[in-house]
C-alpha cells in the first residue's frame, strides 16, 4: 500500500511492527532543538507504589466487533466450531446434524437470486452429500421459542400481580434475545442487575438442538 494515502503527519521512514530508536516522530513540536537538550544528571532511584491495575471498560458505541476481547475459553469454542472441525467430525463417522436459520436462507437467497425453498433444498443436498445425517430448519423451533416466551411473560405478569415483593421469576419487563453475543454481554458486563429480567427460554438454536438430542433418535451404526 502506498504511503501517499496517509496524512503526511502519519508517515514514517520505516513502517514495521517494531518502532526502532532511529524512527523519530514526524510531528513537529515547534520547539528549539538546542533548548530541548537536557543536562545529564546523576541517576536517582525513585521508589513509588504501583497503582492497582483495573480492567479497561468500553461502551457499546465504542465496540468495533473485532473479537479482540474474547477470552481464551471463547477462543477454544471458536476453534471447536470451525469448518475443519466440522469436516473432521463428518469423516470420523459421527452423526452430524445441521440446522439452518431463516436468516441464513434469506441471505443466501438474496445473494444467488433464488427462493428460500430452493436454497434450503440445495443446502440439504450439499450437506447430505458430505455425510450429514439430517438438515433441519429452525423456523419451527423459533415458533416454539416464541410460544414459550409468551407463556413465561404471562406467568411472570400474573405472579407480579399477586406478590408485592420482587421475587425471582416475577421480574418485569422480560428481556429476550436469541443472540449469544447480547447474552454474553449481559452476563459479563451487567451481571446481577439485568439477569433477573432475562427470559429463561432457550434460543431457537438451542431449542432445535435439545429437540434433536433428546427426542429424535438416529441409528448411529
C-alpha separations of 72 from 56, 64, 69, 86 in Å: 17, 19, 9, 21
Alpha-helix runs per DSSP H in the chain: 72-80, 83-91, 102-112, 116-130, 139-162, 180-185, 204-215
Estimate the crossing angle of helix 204-215 against helix 139-162, to 10 degrees: 110
pLDDT of residue 123: 94
Predicted model pTM: 0.54
pLDDT of residue 29: 42
Cell of 218: 438416529
pLDDT of residue 117: 92
pLDDT of residue 111: 94
∠184-189-194 over CA atoms, to 5°? 85
pLDDT of residue 21: 42
Q: Tell me: the pLDDT tens digits for 36-89? A: 555 566 666 666 666 666 665 656 555 555 555 555 555 555 666 678 888 888
pLDDT of residue 126: 93
Tell the burial category of 61 from Cβ atoms under 10 Å away from its Cβ (0-12, 13-18, 19+): exposed
Do 44 and 36 meet the contact criterion of CB atoms below 8 Å apart? Answer: no
pLDDT beneath 50: ranges in the chain: 1-31, 33-35, 219-221
Nearest Cα to 142, choosing from 96, 100, 112, 107?
A: 100
d(CA 120, CA 109): 9
Domain boundaries, the chain: 73-137, 140-202
pLDDT of residue 69: 56
pLDDT of residue 44: 64
Amino acid at each position: 500500500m502506498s504511503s501517499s494515502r496517509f496524512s503526511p503527519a502519519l508517515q514514517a521512514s520505516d513502517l514495521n511492527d517494531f518502532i526502532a530508536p532511529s524512527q523519530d516522530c514526524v510531528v513537529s513540536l515547534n520547539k528549539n532543538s538546542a533548548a530541548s537538550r537536557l543536562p545529564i544528571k546523576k541517576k536517582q532511584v525513585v521508589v513509588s507504589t504501583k497503582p492497582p491495575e483495573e480492567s479497561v471498560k468500553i461502551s457499546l458505541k465504542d465496540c468495533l466487533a473485532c473479537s479482540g476481547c474474547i477470552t481464551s475459553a471463547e477462543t477454544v469454542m471458536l476453534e471447536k466450531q470451525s469448518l475443519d472441525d466440522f469436516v473432521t467430525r463428518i469423516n470420523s463417522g459421527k452423526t452430524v446434524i445441521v440446522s439452518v436459520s431463516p436468516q441464513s436462507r434469506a441471505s443466501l437467497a438474496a445473494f444467488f437470486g433464488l427462493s428460500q425453498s430452493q436454497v434450503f433444498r440445495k443446502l440439504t443436498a450439499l450437506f447430505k452429500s458430505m455425510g450429514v445425517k439430517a438438515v433441519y430448519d429452525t423456523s419451527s423451533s423459533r415458533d416454539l421459542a416464541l410460544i414459550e416466551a409468551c407463556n413465561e411473560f404471562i406467568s411472570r405478569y400474573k405472579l407480579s400481580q399477586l406478590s408485592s415483593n420482587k421475587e425471582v421469576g416475577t421480574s418485569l419487563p422480560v428481556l429476550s434475545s436469541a443472540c449469544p453475543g447480547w447474552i454474553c454481554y449481559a452476563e459479563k458486563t451487567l451481571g446481577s442487575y439485568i439477569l433477573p429480567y432475562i427470559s429463561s427460554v432457550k434460543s431457537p438454536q438451542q431449542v432445535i438442538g435439545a429437540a434433536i438430542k433428546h427426542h429424535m433418535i438416529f441409528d448411529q451404526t
